[in-house]
Structure 1
Amino acid sequence: MDTLTRMRAFIDVVEAEGFSAAARKIGRSKALLSKYVRELEDELGALLLNRTTRQFSLTEAGHTYFKRASELVREIDSLAETVRESSGDVKGRIKLTAPRTFGDAAIGRSLVDFAKAHPDITLEIHLDDRFVDLVEEGFDLAIRITRLEDSSMIARRLSPFRIRICAAPELLERVGTPMQPSELARLPCIIDTNGRWLSNWPFRRNNGEMMSVSVSGPIEVNSPLATRAAAVAGLGFAPLPDFIAAPALASGELVSVLDESVPRDGGIYAVYPHRRYLPAKIRVFVDFLAQWFKEHERG
C-alpha cells in the first residue's frame, strides 16, 4: 500500500469529520479507512488523530500534516489533470463554496447548467455566508460577491455587481422619495445583517468622496430574500443586490432610489488559491461561468 493512498484516506476522514462519514462519502469501509490511517501513523511515527468511541480530534502533528498533505495531494491531482487536459479528458470533483444568496438567486442556475454540460465533473457545493479560508478548509475555489481585497488569491471577475436601495411605491407615497442619502437617517430602513454595511450604509458624494449614513428600522435580518420581502411589504428602504432586486423592480413591487449615490465597484468573482498547476477542471469551470454570465447579462 503506497503512502499517497494512506494520505488520501487521512484527508477524507478529516474532511468528513469521522471514519463513518468518510466511508459513506467515498464508498469504502470504515475498517479499511481506519487501517490506512493507522498505517500512516506507523509510517510517520506520530499520532495524527485522537480517537474516542464517539469522536476524534486532530493532534498538533495531525493539524500540521493535514494542511501540508492537502496541498500536496491537490498539486498531484492538478498535475495529473494538466496532463489529461492535453488529451481532452477533463473530469474530477470541484469543492466549491458560495454565498447562500448566490445559490438561492436566479444566477445560481449557472451551477446547475455547468453540471448538466459537464457530467464528468462533480460539483460539491457548500453554500455558506461566512468568509471561508480556501486553503485551510480544502476548497478548490469560491464564488464571492464583494469588492475584492484578498491579494493572496487569484480572482476572475465574472460579472459586475451593485447594490440598489429599494422601496415599495406605497412607502414612497407615505414618507416621500429621498433625494439625498442623508435623508435615510430619519426614514425606516431594513438592515441586512448578512451584508458588510450593517446599519452604516456607504454612499458616494457628487465630488466622488465617500460618506456613511447611519440608518435604523423595524427589521434586522440575515437574508437578502427576507430583506426584499420586508421591502415589498412597505416596511422600509432596503439595500438589495441587483440580482435579488431585479424581479421586484421589473414587476413594480419595488422602486430603486438614490442610484447615482450608491457605489458601483463590486463584482461577482471566482476566487481560487495560487497554485503551480491550475487544475484543468477549474479552468473549465471558471471559463464556463464567465461565458454564462456574459450570455445572461443583467440590465
Structure 2
Amino acid sequence: MDTITRMRCFIKVAEHKGFSAAARDIGRSKALVSKYIGELEDELGVRLLNRTTRQVSLTETGEAYYKEAVEILQRIDDLQASVQSVHGDVRGRLRISAPRSMGDQMLNQAMMEFLKEHPEVVLDLRLEDRFVDLVEEGFDLAIRVTDLEDSSLIARRIAPFRTVVVATAEVIEKYGLPRVPQDLAERPCIIDTNYRFKQNWSFGQNGQRATVAVKGPVEVNSAAAAREAALLDLGFLRTPLFFVAEDVRAGRLEVVLEDYEPPERGIHAVYPHRRHLSGKVRALVDFLVGWFAAAKKPEADAR
C-alpha cells in the first residue's frame, strides 16, 4: 500500500469527519479505511485523528498534515489532468447542475452543441433551482448565476449577468412609472421565490445598496411562470435579463429603474477546490465561454 493512497483515505476521513462516510465515498470498507489510517499514523509516528464512539476529529498535528496533504495531492492531480487533457480525448460522463430557468432559456442549446462537437461525452444535466453540494452529490460542475460565497469552490466567469425590473406598458400606464426603487413598495410585484431574498429586492446607485420590501398578487418558484404573469399585466417583475431579453426587444416588456440596477454580476462555472479540472470539464468550460461570447448572450442589448 503506497503513501499517496493512505493520504487520500486520510483526507476523506477528515473531510467527512468519520470512517463510514469516507468509506462510502471512496468505495472501500470501513475496516479497510481504518486500516489505511492506522498504517499512515504508524508510518509517521504520530496520531492524526482523535477517535470517539460518536465522531472523528483532527489532532493539532493532523490539521497541519491535512493542509499539506491536500496541497500535495492537488498538485499531483493537476499534473495528471494536464497530461490527460493534452494527450487524451474528451470523453466520459459529465454530471452538471444548472438553474432550470437558465437551462430552459439558453443553456440547453449550448450543451447540445457541445455534445455535437464531442460525441464521446455522455451528458447528465440536472436542471433544478437549488444549490447542490458538488462533492456530496457527485457533480463535476455547476453553473451558477448568483454571488459566490463558498470559498471551497473555484469559479470561472463565463458570461455577464444583469438583473432588471420589467413590466408591460399597460402596467406602467395603470400604476405609474416607478422613479425610484421605493416606489415599488406601493405597486403590485411578481415574486420569484427561487431567489434568496424573495420579497426583498435589492438595488444600487453610486456604490450604495438599498433593499425594498415588495408584495403582489403572485409568488411562484418558477421563472417561466413569473414571466407569464408579467406578460399578462399582473405587475412588475425582477428577473435576469437573459430570461426576458426577447420580450424586451419585441416591446412586450419594458425595463424600468435602470439607473438603480444592482452591480452587474456573472454567470459562473464552479467546481470543488480540491478536485482537479479534468480534460472534459475544462473543454466544456472553454466551450461555454466561447459560446456565450460568440452569441452575445445573455446580455445582448435589449433596450
Q: Which amino acid aligns with 2:183?
A: E
Q: Which amino acid aligns with 1:279?
A: S
1:266 is the counterpart of 2:224:
no
Residues 109-124 of structure 1 correspond to what in structure 2 (within 5 A)? 109-124=109-124
* Cα displacement (A) at 1:101: 1.0
Q: Which residue of 1 aligns with 2:54?
A: none
Q: Which amino acid aligns with 1:106?
A: M
Q: Which residue of 2 aligns with 1:211?
A: 210
Q: Which amino acid aligns with 1:110?
A: A
Q: Which amino acid aligns with 1:64?
A: A
Q: Which ranges in structure 2 are unaligned for 5 or more consecutive residues?
A: 1-17, 29-74, 297-301
CA distance in 1, matches of 2:141, 2:222: 23
Structure 2 residue matching 1:228: 3-state secondary structure: helix
* Cα displacement (A) at 1:100: 0.6
* Cα displacement (A) at 1:106: 2.4
Structure 2 residue matching 1:105: 3-state secondary structure: helix
8 Å CA contact 1:82–1:277 kept in 2: the answer is no
* Cα displacement (A) at 1:196: 2.0
8 Å CA contact 1:81–1:281 kept in 2: the answer is no
* Cα displacement (A) at 1:150: 1.6
Structure 2 residue matching 1:226: 3-state secondary structure: helix
Q: Which amino acid aligns with 1:65?
A: A
Q: Report the more deviating stretch, 61-70 or 193-202.
A: 61-70
8 Å CA contact 1:147–1:265 kept in 2: the answer is no
* Cα displacement (A) at 1:79: 7.3
Using structure 1 for the length normalisation, give the TM-score.
0.73
Counterparts in 2 of 1:150 and 1:196: CA distance versus 1, 3 Å? same
CA distance in 1, matches of 2:78, 2:113: 24
Q: Which residue of 2 aligns with 1:237?
A: 236
CA distance in 2, matches of 1:80, 1:209: 46
Q: Which residue of 1 aligns with 2:25?
A: 67
Residues 140-161 of structure 1: CA deviation (Å, up to 9, x unaligned):
1100011122221111000000
CA distance in 2, matches of 1:147, 1:209: 17
Residues 49-128 of structure 1 correspond to what in structure 2 (within 5 A)? 62-69=20-27, 82-128=82-128
8 Å CA contact 1:201–1:212 kept in 2: the answer is yes
8 Å CA contact 2:95–2:124 kept in 1: the answer is yes
CA distance in 2, matches of 1:276, 1:250: 41
1:173 is the counterpart of 2:173:
yes
* Cα displacement (A) at 1:77: 9.4
8 Å CA contact 1:170–1:234 kept in 2: the answer is yes
* Cα displacement (A) at 1:213: 0.5
Q: Which amino acid aligns with 1:197?
A: F
CA distance in 2, matches of 1:90, 1:140: 14
* Cα displacement (A) at 1:81: 5.6
Residues 21-64 of structure 1: CA deviation (Å, up to 9, x unaligned):
xxxxxxxxxxxxxxxxxxxxxxxxxxxxxxxxxxxxxxx85423
Q: Which ranges in structure 1 are unaligned for 5 or more consecutive residues?
A: 1-59
Counterparts in 2 of 1:113 and 1:76: CA distance versus 1, 3 Å? farther
Q: Which amino acid aligns with 2:25?
A: K
CA distance in 1, matches of 2:25, 2:268: 25
Q: How many residues align?
A: 236
Q: Which residue of 2 aligns with 1:254?
A: 253
Counterparts in 2 of 1:93 and 1:272: CA distance versus 1, 3 Å? same
Structure 1 residue matching 2:122: 3-state secondary structure: strand
Structure 1 residue matching 2:286: 3-state secondary structure: helix
RMSD: 2.4
8 Å CA contact 1:99–1:144 kept in 2: the answer is yes
1:134 is the counterpart of 2:92:
no
Residues 91-112 of structure 1: CA deviation (Å, up to 9, x unaligned):
1111111111121112431111
Q: Which amino acid aligns with 2:239?
A: L
Structure 2 residue matching 1:263: 3-state secondary structure: coil
Q: Which amino acid aligns with 1:63?
A: A
Residues 106-137 of structure 1: CA deviation (Å, up to 9, x unaligned):
24311111111111111111112111110111
CA distance in 2, matches of 1:156, 1:239: 25
Q: Which residue of 2 aligns with 1:11?
A: none
8 Å CA contact 1:153–1:271 kept in 2: the answer is yes
* Cα displacement (A) at 1:212: 0.7
Structure 1 residue matching 2:87: 3-state secondary structure: coil
| Aligned-residue identity in percent | 47
Structure 2 residue matching 1:146: 3-state secondary structure: coil
